[in-house]
């Protein structure tokens, strides 16, 4: 009899503590955020003319391609990277990329990408079904000593909820 | 009795820990790939000068035309033309099979007498090249072409050697 009484007196206390913790946590722990690359950042084909330096830039917001210096920009495929973000509908997320990155050719030559920027750098609002796309662009600088070839690289993009 | 209390406490602790772990999925990372293709630069080098040969001027003046086949195709105005003529020749190097465009002088080119001030001109419109409508580099990235033009010789042009230079540019299409 004594044993039974003590058992009841402890159960309600512990269970209550467990339940009260659930909603409190749920408010600050939304569903996982997912980011998937839909398209890679592809610079246009370029040829370096003369002995000067130059660069080609892809604007992430507009997709516009601009160039400086003595380079020839070929027409053809070029695009900002596209990331699909999936998360809590209506929430604000930040999509951040490192400002610089490296592209490497098969022969080991390196081009340092500059001014990598994301359209979600300062916050991107997910729509009513929890989707948004972020674009990433940047600047490819070249010099007269940059060798011909196909250069590849990658950047880690960090996506976070922005608590409002 | 004590065992019972302990077990319940463990369950509660486990639930809290699981929620805490779920909270770390607030952040996501993705890999963005990037590619860039650098095409070999296109270069041009002169391999032969444009030479109009020897000309004995006339009282009226005239023209001398050198074709891209290295032949004198015109010697007008009663002039006497002799000697070997050559068209200008150029070697182009670049990315295999790419097409390119040739830019010939947009303004008249002046030839000035060595040790003198007398001049003759080659009109910009008279320049022509042998590379056809759509010049293209070969499968190994090479091409050559020649440039011909017409020299306008004045009436009783002062004798001497006349020199001048002009630029020919190439760029990818």
Q: Give residue-wise pLDDT tens across range A105-164.
A: 999 999 999 999 999 988 999 999 999 999 999 999 999 889 999 999 999 999 999 988
Burial letters for A130-164: b for 16+ Cβ neighbours within 10 Å, e otherwise? bebebbbbbbbbbeeebebbebbbbbebebbbeee
Chain B contact for A13 (CB, 8 A cutoff): no
| Confidence at residue B23, expressed as pLDDT on a 0 to 100 scale | 35
> For residue A24, what is the enclosing H or E element?
helix A2-26
* Mean pLDDT to the nearest integer, B92-114: 96
The answer to whether the Cβ–Cβ distance between A25 and B36 falls below 8 Å is no
Chain A contact for B133 (CB, 8 A cutoff): no
Mind telling me how many Å the CA of B98 is from chain A's nearest CA?
A: 11
pTM over 0.80: no
Q: Rounded to whole angstroms, how far apart are CA atoms B59 and A126?
A: 86
Residue B30: pLDDT over 60: yes
Mutation site, A5, A47, A65, interface B, largest B CB count within 10 A: A47
B62 forms beta bridges with: B153
The answer to whether the Cβ–Cβ distance between B26 and A33 falls below 8 Å is yes
Could you report the per-residue pLDDT of B41-57, keeping only the tens digit for each? 999 999 999 999 999 99
In chain B, the residue whose alpha carbon lies closest to the alpha carbon of A146 is B38
> For residue A69, what is the enclosing H or E element?
strand A65-69
The answer to whether the Cβ–Cβ distance between B38 and A33 falls below 8 Å is no
Cβ contacts (< 8 Å) between A160 and chain B: which residues?
A: 26-28
Mutation site, A12, A22, A27, A29, interface B, largest B CB count within 10 A: A29
- Strand, helix or coil for residue A117: strand
Cβ contacts (< 8 Å) between B170 and chain A: which residues?
A: none
Contacts across the A-B interface (CB distance below 8 Å) = 165
The answer to whether the Cβ–Cβ distance between B28 and A34 falls below 8 Å is yes
């Amino acid at each position: 009899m004594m044993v039974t009484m003590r058992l009841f007196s402890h159960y309600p206390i512990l269970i209550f503590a467990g339940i009260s913790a659930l909603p409190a946590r749920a408010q600050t722990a939304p569903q996982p955020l997912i980011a998937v690359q839909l398209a890679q950042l592809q610079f246009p084909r370029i040829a370096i003319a003369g002995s000067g330096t130059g660069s080609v830039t892809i604007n992430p917001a507009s997709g516009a391609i601009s160039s400086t210096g003595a380079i020839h920009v070929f027409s053809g495929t070029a695009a900002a990277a596209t990331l699909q973000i999936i998360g809590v509908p209506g929430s604000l997320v930040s999509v951040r990329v490192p400002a610089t990155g490296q592209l490497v050719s098969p022969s080991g030559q390196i081009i340092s990408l500059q001014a990598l920027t994301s359209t979600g750098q300062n916050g991107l609002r997910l729509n009513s079904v929890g989707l948004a796309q972020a674009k990433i662009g940047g600047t490819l600088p070249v010099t007269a000593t940059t060798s011909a070839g196909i250069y590849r690289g990658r950047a880690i993009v960090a996506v976070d909820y922005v608590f409002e | 009795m004590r065992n019972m209390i302990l077990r319940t406490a463990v369950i509660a602790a486990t639930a809290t820990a699981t929620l805490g772990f779920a909270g770390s999925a607030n952040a996501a990372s993705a890999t963005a790939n990037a590619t860039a293709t650098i095409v070999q630069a296109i270069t041009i080098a002169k391999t032969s000068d444009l030479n109009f040969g020897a000309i004995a001027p006339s009282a009226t003046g005239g023209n001398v035309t050198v074709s891209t086949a290295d032949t004198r195709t015109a010697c007008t105005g009663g002039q006497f033309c002799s000697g070997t003529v050559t068209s200008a020749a150029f070697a182009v190097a670049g990315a295999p099979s790419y097409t390119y465009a040739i830019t010939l002088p947009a303004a008249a080119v002046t030839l000035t007498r060595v040790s003198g001030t007398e001049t003759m001109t080659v009109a910009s419109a008279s320049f022509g090249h042998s590379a056809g409508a759509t010049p293209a580099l070969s499968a190994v990235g090479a091409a050559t072409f020649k440039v011909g033009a017409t020299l306008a010789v004045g009436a009783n042009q002062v004798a001497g050697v006349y020199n001048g230079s002009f630029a020919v540019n190439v760029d990818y299409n």
